[in-house]
């Protein structure tokens, strides 16, 4: 059974992972190496498109890793990708014990615990698994369901209008809500809109920091434009601030299949009501984030164009978080499982 020192180290590894942030398409992982006496030797976190947490910690520890205990938020991988297997690296470094929280759900990468045990290491998994479950919820969904996790974000008035009758929509919500959008965008690896939104609003679809400065291109999510209408070369999504992919399809399943082939794990859907409605009606929205402004229009464009025709066609949501941001309200919710509605 994991000791109190190991449990504290696992919480520390979780903090390190969260501080490093988005590592997609890799999972977000933190690792702490403990000496035989229980002292922290080194730590590491998985880098986006780069080194895994265990490798970073082993490099920092050097020879001190021999005889150490590795405490990791996710089961060490057992496959060769951009780096070699972390399980093998831990064995070669002379680590004697490995404690981890979540088992690796990735079919290709799983098996690290068994490989470590076969090499003679003492291995314990499932420690603080509930505390670490949210760290890679979207990534875990993507690798088990073979499609990206989809978060639909929209901003609307209290009566559900995303734009006035004349089409004006900037800005429905205030600066606090807009800053929150950029913070949450940084947790995904693709931002998606339809061609209609590009033509109407000419958005950048990039992340900006707290000082409203754009992040470097290598830290920007993939910009995805869906639809069969041509977009001009002068559109801001065509600039060099981030990579852009145009998917000439109106089929949500085909769009997600294309993104899955590119190892996209988490899509932030910001499209207009028709694109949102297509994904909603297809059952391909996994989380909803609604920013509601204390404004009433009484007319205008709805936030969602769905095929529902009667009240029983509506699908309920379970609210998971509710808070105010300046004058606005943010609601996070997940669609209720369809079988629960029967």
Residues 129/102, Cβ–Cβ less than 8 Å:
yes
Mean pLDDT of successive 10-residue stretches along the chain, which has 342 residues: 93 94 91 96 88 94 96 90 84 96 85 93 94 92 95 90 68 88 92 90 84 77 93 91 92 96 95 89 94 83 71 80 95 76 36
pLDDT at residue 282, as a whole number = 92
Cβ neighbourhood burial of 325 (10 Å; 0-12, 13-18, 19+): middle
Nearest to 292 by CA among 161, 141, 106, 104: 161
pLDDT at residue 144, as a whole number = 93
pLDDT at residue 342, as a whole number = 36
Percent helix, strand, coil in the chain, to 5, is 30, 25, 45
- The H-or-E segment that residue 335 falls in is strand 328-335
Q: What is the largest CA-CA distance in the chain?
A: 69
pLDDT at residue 170, as a whole number = 66
Instruction: Show which residues are catalytic.
Output: 54
Cα torsion at 109, 112, 118, 123 (round to 10°)?
A: -170
Q: Dihedrals φ, ψ of 92, to 5°?
A: -65, -30
Q: Tell me how far apart the alpha carbons of residues 303 and 289 are, in angstroms, rounded to a whole number.
A: 12
Q: Tell me how far apart the alpha carbons of residues 114 and 123 are, in angstroms, rounded to a whole number.
A: 9
Order of strands, sheet of 190-194, starting from the edge strand that comes earlier in the sequence: 244-247, 222-226, 190-194, 266-269, 149-157, 287-293, 328-335, 317-325
| Domain annotation for the chain: domains and CATH numbers | 4-139 (3.40.140.10), 146-341 (3.40.430.10)
All residues at 6 or more sequence positions from 90 whose CB lies less than 8 Å from its CB, including other chains: 54, 58, 70, 76, 98, 116, 121
């Amino acid at each position: 059974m994991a000791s109190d020192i190991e449990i504290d180290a696992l919480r520390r590894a979780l903090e390190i992972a969260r501080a490093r942030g988005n590592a997609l398409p890799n999972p977000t992982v933190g690792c702490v190496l403990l000496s035989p006496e229980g002292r922290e030797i080194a730590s590491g976190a998985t880098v986006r498109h780069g080194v895994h947490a265990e490798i970073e910690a082993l490099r920092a520890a050097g020879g001190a890793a021999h005889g150490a205990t590795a405490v990791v938020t996710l089961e060490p991988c057992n496959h060769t990708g951009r780096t070699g297997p972390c399980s093998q690296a831990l064995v070669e470094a002379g680590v004697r014990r490995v404690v981890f929280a979540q088992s690796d759900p990735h079919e290709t990468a799983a098996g690290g615990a068994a490989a470590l045990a076969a090499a003679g290491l003492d291995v314990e998994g499932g420690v603080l698994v509930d505390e670490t479950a949210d760290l890679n919820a979207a990534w875990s969904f993507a690798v088990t369901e073979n499609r990206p996790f989809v978060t639909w974000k929209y901003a609307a008035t209290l009566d559900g209008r995303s734009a006035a009758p004349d089409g004006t929509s900037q800005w429905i919500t205030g600066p606090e809500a807009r800053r929150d959008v950029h913070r949450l965008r940084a947790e995904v690896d693709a931002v998606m809109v339809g061609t209609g939104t590009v033509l109407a609003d000419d958005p950048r679809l990039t992340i900006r920091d707290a000082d409203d400065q754009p992040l470097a291109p290598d830290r920007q999510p993939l910009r995805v434009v869906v639809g069969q209408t041509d977009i001009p070369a002068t559109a801001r999504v065509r600039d060099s601030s981030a990579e852009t992919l145009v998917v000439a399809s109106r089929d949500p399943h085909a769009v997600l299949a294309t993104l899955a082939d590119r190892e996209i794990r988490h899509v932030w859907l910001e499209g207009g009501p028709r694109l949102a409605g297509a994904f909603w009606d297809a059952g391909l929205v996994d989380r909803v984030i609604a920013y509601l402004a204390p404004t009433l229009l009484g007319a205008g464009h709805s936030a969602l164009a769905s095929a529902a025709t009667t009240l029983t066609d509506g699908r309920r949501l379970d609210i998971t978080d509710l808070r105010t941001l300046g004058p606005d309200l943010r609601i996070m919710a997940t669609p209720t499982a369809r079988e629960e509605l029967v």
